[in-house]
Amino acid sequence: MVENHTSQLDTVFHALGDATRRRMLSELAQGERTVSQLAGPFAISLAAASKHIKVLENAGMIRREVRGRTHLCRLDPGPLARAHEWLGFYERFWTSRLDVLDRLLREEEARNSQSPEGDKS
């Protein structure tokens, strides 16, 4: 179970590692798009766009539906939520570290403001 979850995270972060795919996800957050619509903003072929879409599909971040000759893609946010959850641990870690640093700096500032101006202890 944990290994499967780790493997999925690896796939999600790999997919997010490309600017074209991140922009495609941003487009899909606005609503479903065809492959042509997803390829439009980029100077890439439909075949290249399809490869990017396949990477996003393999990561589970999008779903593709075929209607006749049209391929419609829509965002599936589940894997992104799991990646966000995983990153949340590190967000909490760094927030707590920065809170400690903030407290220490405030204590030092308070000590410095209480000591006589000429005292450099």
Q: Where are the domains of the chain?
A: 2-76
pLDDT score for 114? 86
pTM exceeding the 0.85 threshold for the entire prediction: no
Long-range contacts at 19-24 (CB < 8 A, ≥ 24 apart)? 20/44, 20/52, 21/52, 21/55, 21/56, 24/52, 24/53, 24/56, 24/62
The architecture (CATH level 2) of 2-76 comes to Orthogonal Bundle (1.10)
pLDDT by residue (tens digit) across 29-39? 999 999 999 99
- Tens of pLDDT along 2-19? 445 668 889 999 999 999
